[in-house]
Structure 1
């Protein structure tokens, strides 16, 4: 058996605006399926060089997508019964695929079945933005009163710890990725722990600046899709409403289900997708009452017109091509300066 986590995220924004209608998930799945059927190239290269590939697994009862991280370098080795190492038996043109599964539920909730190697939830936003021009704003679904407490918290300390063997910049983004990458080069055993605090000395304005910076780093940390890989994550501060000291366990505040799965099934491409869909559908049923109690109901119909068909190289390439066409048209339409001056420019050249 192996352990997997099911994370729950909510699509809060689309194209930078608050999303008040259902996200057009079924339409997204349909266009990906259509592109897959006609063999349209659906690979997308992120800004950091990560290559992603998505496909639709099912449309009912919930649309489910697979998002693969495509690896063709730094591949692991295979060992035989005696421990002798050899390369992975990949045919020419084959790649290693590391998969995360996404189910789109009611109330714009997204259930994410993840492992340690598959893409983080935020990568789906990058992929849909690059391929379809859909800019998503994702927030984690949290336990009932934690968000309220964190909003009131005048933070004074933030601390986390994880085993050294798990240290990797891939767990986080931005500044945290740099910290974890550096730490992974410092130690390979034991526990890595980091603590940020405001401190007791200094001026009030200096302490407030430090407090705001720590809060920014906490927000970045919370939006990562890998918090469950840590052993210990806490934020501490004073509740601005009650004046009491509060310690918030960020491992417990995020709504994450941990499940045991059959490792052999997930290693079998013919069975893994059906098993993942089954798990996500069960999670949707089991947690519907919690979502209904804690999240707003989303009414109306999705705006399917916002989702274009998939084209090779993605929406970014389409936008770039359109921009080039506009510039070329502008160059064609711009009159020659000399012509606009009644030919005086040409007369000067002839003289």
Structure 2
């Protein structure tokens, strides 16, 4: 048996606006399914060069998508019991696929069944934005009152630790990716620990500026999909309401389930998808009462018309071409890709499909 985690996220924004109606997940799944049947290229290249590929695994009772990280460089080797190594036996044109599974549940919750190498939740946001023009904002589903506590916390210390063997810039994004990537070159054994503190000396305004910066880094850390790889993650500060000192364990604040899976099944492409769908459906049933108690209700119908057909290579090249054309024509650059109709309506139709 092997251990996998199921992380829970919520789509709280769409096209940079608060999302108060259901996300059109079923429509997305239908379009991806149709694109696969038509042989449409669904690969999307992220700004950092990561190649992503999504496909539909199920439409009911919840839409479930597979998201693969596609690799054809820096591939691992295979070997026998004596350590004799040889390249992976890939046929010409084959790629290594590292997979995560995404189930779109009620209340705009996404359940993500991950492995150590599969894409993080933020990668699904990249794919939906780049391939379909759907800019989504994802926030982690947290335990009961953690969000309230963190909002009141005047942070004075943030600290985390993880084994040196797990150090990798791929665990995080932004500034943290650079830190972990540099640390991975410094040490390969032991434990890497880092602490950010406001300090005791200095002017009040300087301390507040440091406190705000640490809070920004904490927010970035919390949005990463790989916190469970760390051994220790805490934020400490004064509760602005009670005046008490609070230590918040960020490893325990996320709503994450750990499940035991049959390693042989998950290594079998013919069986792994059905097993993943069954696990995610069970998680949806088991946690429905918690979501109903802690998350806002979502009313109305999804805006299915906002989801365009798949364009090979994604919507980004179209948006860039449209921006170039609009600027060349002397139109305000800020109107491109906002969903607003420019004179003649061409901009809206091109971007939205």
Query: Which TM-score band (shorter chain)?
Result: over 0.9
TM-score normalised to the size of structure 2?
A: 0.92
Q: What SS does structure 2 have at the residue aligned with 1:314?
A: coil
Q: Give 3-state SS (helix, strand or coil) of 2:170's partner.
A: helix
Deviation at residue 206 of structure 1 after TM alignment: 1.0
Match of 1:178 in 2: 178
Cα deviation per residue 1:59-103 (whole Å; 9 max; x = unaligned)? Answer: 000000000000000000001122101000001110000000000
Counterparts of residues 276-287 of structure 1 (less than 5 Å): 276-287=276-287
Shift of the alpha carbon at 1:233?
0.3
**Could you say which residue in structure 1 is the equivalent of 2:301?**
301
Task: Give the structure 1 partner of residue 122 of structure 2.
Answer: 122
Distance 1:324 1:179 in 2: 36
Paired residue for 1:59? 59
Pairing 1:4-23 to 2, within 5 Å after superposition: 4-23=4-23
1:148 and 2:144 matched: no
Q: Give how far 1:318 is off.
A: 2.2
Q: Structure 2: any 5+ residue segments left out of the alignment?
A: 332-353
**Cα offset for 1:320?**
2.9
The answer for unaligned runs of 5 or more in structure 1 is 332-351
Report the equivalent of 1:237: 237
Q: How far apart in 2 are the matches of 1:326 and 1:172?
A: 36
1:211-238 per-position Cα deviation (integer Å, ceiling 9, x unaligned): 1110000000000000011000000000
Corresponding position of 2:86: 86
Q: 1:342 matched to which residue of 2?
A: none
CA distance in 2, matches of 1:145, 1:8: 16
Distance 2:328 2:242 in 1: 63
C-alpha distance in 1, partners of 2:312/2:150?
Answer: 43
CA apart distance, 1:326 = 4.8
Match of 1:337 in 2: none
* TM-fit CA distance, 1:330: 7.2
Q: How well do the aligned residues superpose, as a CA RMSD in angstroms?
A: 1.2
Number of corresponding residues: 331
What is the DSSP-based 3-state SS (H/G/I as helix, E as strand, rest coil) of the residue aligned with 2:318? helix
By how many angstroms is 1:260 displaced?
A: 1.0
SS of the equivalent of 1:67 reads strand
1:48 aligns with 2:48: yes
Partners of 1:305 and 1:12 lie apart in 2 by 19
- Normalised to the residue count of structure 1, the TM-score between the two structures is 0.92
- Residue correspondence of structure 1 range 173-322 to structure 2 within 5 A: 173-322=173-322
In 2, Cα distance between the equivalents of 1:155 and 1:284?
A: 34
Partner Cα separation in structure 2 for residue 299 and residue 25 of structure 1: 15
- Computing the radius of gyration over CA atoms, which structure comes out larger, 1 or 2? 1
Distance in structure 1 (CA, Å) of the matches to 2:48 and 2:206: 34
Q: Note the C-alpha offset of 1:274.
A: 0.3
Secondary structure of the residue that 1:26 maps to in structure 2? Answer: helix
1:208 deviates by: 0.8
Deviates more, 1:142-151 or 1:259-268: 259-268
